Chain A
Amino acid sequence: MTKTSASRLAVPADTRSSARFRSETLAVAMTFVISIILVIASGFISPALGSWSQVYTILTLASFLVVVAFGQGLVILIGGLDLSIASVIMLGGVMVTAWSGSGYPQILMIAAVLALCAGVGLVNALGTLWLKVPPFIMTMATGIIVASSALGYTSGTPRGVTPELFTWLMKSEVAGIPTILIFVGLFVFCGAMLQGWTSFGRRLQAVGTNISAARVAGLSVSLPVVAAYVISSVCAGFAGMMLVGYANGATLRMGDSYLLPSIAAVVIGGSSILGGRGSYIGTVGGAVLLTTLGTVISALGIEQGWRTVIEGSIIIAALLLLNETFMSLLGGPARR
């Protein structure tokens, strides 16, 4: 049974039509502008803020979210949701710590752990495709199972060695620039290309817009879905490894604080939670905005309750700002 609606019929499949391109770019640019404003404004809170070193700090801290939000964005693009990423981040971190230093080459171990994470993504995808379990429940359930299994496997204390590759990634510098920033730049470029400019990306978008129509048009639906969930889990696992490199250790709750922000970054970045529309650059903007906001807010010398209220208000304000721009340019149907 196809779902059509007056507003949806008007959405063009080719994202390069000029009007859409302009408005989306503008909305995405807005997220970065807001971040920059926040950084400059924070200079009024403390003289050391509003500086390049603060920007470096923010970008480093945002790197984890940028990686995770890519995968989450792909899953949301096809109309799903990945609630298992918190556990898979932990899985990546804990297992790479446990298996490194076991004598086998580092690269092999890292690949093995990423394969394990990909397996979780595969389970998620098959659950939604074959067992017809809604993505919300499927990924939530796998998340709970993975977390509990890790607790049993480690008896509560993850042990092992931090892989040198990730210590190098997170802590070293290349030609005076922190390696992690170079990595993030490359990752964002590749991700944006993959999602926005390849036929693979367009296929994902088609599946998300109207899964039945995609089927009718002869597109294989299973492959994009599997790919999206697998990429999401691999990204999450990789982010876990990055966290291990950053903090020199793994803990069983290390992924928890990235779940809601990953969804928030995707939504703030302009993607529709119902699928079919979204750009990765927007998501990156959302991730940077959230990290910047968090950093600036924690510098405010007021009690935590009010800090949280201000944070929530700024998020709403940012969302409105992004929406108005979109609205006034197209003068059309609302984003839902």
Chain B
Amino acid sequence: MTFSAAKETGGSRAVPVGRKGGGAVADLLRNGTFIVAVLYVILFVVNAALQSKALNINSVTNLVNNAAPLAIASAGQALIVISRGFDLSVAGVVSLTNVLIAAYPIKGPLGALAALAMALSVGGLVGLVNGFLVVKLRMQSIAATLGTMIITQGLALVILDAPKGSVADWLADEMTDRVFGYVPVAGLVVLAVVVLWLIARRTDSVVGLYAVGEDEGAASLSGVPVQAVRMKTFVAAGLLYGLAGFMLSAQTATGNPNAGTPFLMLSFAAVSLGGVSFSGGRGSPVGAIIGAATLMLLQKVLFSGGVSSFYTGIFQGAVLIAAIVFSGLISKLGSRRGMT
């Protein structure tokens, strides 16, 4: 019985694709990623209708640049949530990589490469520590990552005690620019993450990831190397957080020891919006990426719609709830028997 396909579409548990009936369309409707994509398109259309300048290339580039850091971080968070865990260290890793890149800027394209390498190493290292705490020392993921988050936040504060420093010009300019005049570089980076996922999806580790998230005991009995899978998941997530910190540095072009704090709540919101279930074993990082983009787009839509002052918060909360209910309903549409 194959786990992967059914799990990733966010469909019901342990039932192979096709058996629920309804065919390809129904499968699509049950797919959490597809639903959030539809949501995004609807919001985009509303935004364009309210604000005529929304379709010009500068606005689109701004949109992509703005969403890219959260999108990449949420992809990492999605991996952990799929494995039925919580990763609070996202906030600390993003802050730490941001201050490192701003405190030690290196010029030119090679400098940017060095910065990227530094960001990935820091993220990967924290991921390793998380994995060690959770897998070897048997801590709850929320507890272990709470600890690593506080420690990495502290380290960020040690390196930069206030917002200062500046990111190397090449990095900040190029990563927020466009290639061929039309394609935002940040968008290409996010696309690269998506492609990597599509390739990794077929590997044993990822299939194992879904199995472990769904039912760790059963997965272990089926021969899935649970410890190795969990370890790899934490490292992969850490790498993604590092990349997110790298992209954030390009956007703000400066260092801020508290840069990662907003990512904590937002990454979970993006993950949930993207159809990833907190009970594990379901959903896709691609959904989380689109979920993040939706959250950022929502701010713009509310702005264009003239929502101002404290009403913005009220609308944000209401739309968040409406969006989740909406996805749930569409998902139901795709199941003839209405399984929970």
Contact = CB atoms under 8 A, between A and B. Distances in A.
Complex: A in contact with B (CB within 8 Å): yes
B253 interface: no
A305 B155 contact: yes
A149 interface: yes
Contacts of A303: 157-158, 161
8 A-B pairs with the lowest CB-CB distances in the bound complex, closest first: A148-B313, A308-B154, A312-B150, A5-B217, A305-B158, A305-B157, A309-B154, A6-B217
B142 A141 contact: no
A320 B313 contact: no
Interface residues of A, number: 55
A144 B316 contact: yes
Interface in A258-302: 260, 263-264, 267-268, 272-274
A10 to B, nearest CB: 10
A316 B144 contact: yes
Given A144-B320, A312-B147, 10 more contacts: A4-B215, A5-B216, A132-B340, A134-B277, A136-B268, A137-B324, A148-B311, A319-B143, A320-B139, A323-B137
Given A127-B321, A315-B150, A320 B86 contact: no
8 contacts: A1-B13, A3-B279, A5-B218, A131-B321, A141-B316, A141-B320, A145-B313, A312-B149
Contacts of A147: 313
Interface residues of B, number: 59
A52 to B, nearest CB: 29
Nearest to B272: A137
B309 interface: yes
Contacts of B257: 305
Interface centre among A307, A312, A323 (most CB of B within 10 A): A312
A151 interface: yes
Contacts of B147: 312-313, 315-316, 319
Q: Would you call the interface of chain A mostly helix, strand, loop, or mixed?
A: helix
Given A142-B317, A334-B138, A137 B269 contact: yes
A4 B214 CA distance: 10
B224 to A, nearest CB: 13
Contacts of A138: 321
A313 B150 CA distance: 8
Contacts, number: 165
B2 interface: no
Contact of A267 (B142, B220, B312, B328): B142
B156 interface: yes
A303 B159 CA distance: 11
A147 B13 CA distance: 37
B142 A263 contact: yes
A152 to B, nearest CB: 4
A312 B14 contact: no
B151 A134 contact: no
A316 B84 CA distance: 20
Contacts of A152: 309-311, 314
Contacts of A8: 217
Nearest to A264: B146
Given A3-B215, A134-B324, A263-B142, A308 B161 contact: no
A311 B265 contact: no
A144 B278 contact: no
B1 interface: no
Contacts of A308: 150-151, 153-154, 157
Contacts of A1: 12-14, 339-340
Interface string A308-332: 1111110110011001000100000
A323 B218 CA distance: 24
B196 interface: no
A4 B215 CA distance: 7
Contacts of A335: 138-140
Contacts of B31: none
Given A273-B142, A312-B150, A6 B84 contact: no
A312 B143 CA distance: 11
B134 to A, nearest CB: 8
Interface centre among A7, A136, A307 (most CB of B within 10 A): A136
B314 A148 contact: yes
Interface in A160-189: none
